[in-house]
Amino acid sequence: MKLITVLGWEQRYISGLNEILSLYDLEHVYLICFKDYLYMDNMNENLRETIQLIGKLNITHNVIELEYEDSVYNWHILHSFFNTSDFKNILLNLTTIPRETIWTILFFLKNYVSKVNYIYYKPDSYDKSEGGLTKNHKQPRLLFKHSGLFDIDKKLIILIITGFDHNRADLLVEHFEPEKVIFLSQSGKQYENMVRNSGVSFSGAYESTIIENIEFDSYDIINSHRIINELINDHKNYNLIISSQGPKISAISTYMSYLDNKQLALAYVPAREFSGNYSVGIDLAPISGVINF
């Protein structure tokens, strides 16, 4: 089996990698590094430790360097990479991959394989400081080659799988000015979820917007996929955009729904700055499964 993973600064990056190395018989590791974020605390240390860990197990590897600030450059690099490698029996480690990169990797992989294994590790907790998990966000945009099918005679609905950064949701609404927003908020009480993940922030962006709130469990990929597809089917007379801002694993159910409904557009809100204490610890019970293309 071959692993695709992204270098991260969080504690759970190395802890998760150690678990994966103990659970799977890996022959190769594709390590993606965002070279413009190597300055962050622990990044170079985690890079060195990653190389040491896989080297001790005689696992071959190669490093793919991307730039978080340049999505066009990244698309070209990944396009070239996937055209020149063998991707049978892939395990995709979602734990520290940006959502845009998850979707881009899945786009290329589906051209070469019929399915991909994935694994995800939750943290013990997220940063609770006033600064938030991310800040200094860029303008929202649609993922390249995933911008849906838009009819100028139809109104717009945005489905937002909410997270702990309300500003990202606000920016989406301000930018696209939808008729309606459907917030898909994480159920349960984990991570102070009921307080921090309530969806709408009631900023001025929502003054003339219809708002609907739905609770669901984004860690349950099958049920999440079903709920999203039902919402899409119920709103076929609208243009539809979806944005995944909750747990990174929600990018999987989101992409599965995109594969089922090509009129759906995938949107994201990049951040320029991330909390150095984004998460603490790791839950060693992984969430894993298979996405079929």
How far are the Cα atoms of 42, 173, 251, 282 from residue 184, in angstroms, in the given order? 33, 15, 13, 25
Residues 19 and 47 in one domain: yes
Instruction: Give the tokens for residue 44.
Output: 């170079």
pTM above 0.85, yes or no: yes
Q: Which domain holds residue 249?
A: 139-269
Residues 173 and 237 in one domain: yes
Looking at residue 230, which CATH number applies to its domain? 3.40.50
What kind and span of H or E run contains 248?
Answer: none
Helix (H, G, I), strand (E, B) or coil at 182: strand
42 Rama class: left (phi>0) / alpha (psi -120 to 50) / beta: left
Looking at residue 111, which CATH number applies to its domain? 3.40.50.11700
What kind and span of H or E run contains 241?
Answer: strand 239-244
Q: Is residue 134 situated within a structural domain?
A: no
Residues 242 and 161 in one domain: yes
How many domains in the chain?
A: 2
Spell out the per-residue pLDDT of the chain, length 293, in tens.
999 999 988 888 999 999 999 999 999 999 999 998 888 888 899 999 999 999 999 999 999 999 988 999 999 999 999 988 778 899 999 998 999 999 999 999 999 999 999 999 988 765 555 444 455 567 899 999 999 999 999 999 999 998 767 778 888 999 999 999 999 988 755 444 444 444 555 555 677 789 999 989 999 999 999 999 999 999 999 999 999 988 889 999 999 999 999 999 999 988 765 545 656 779 899 999 999 99
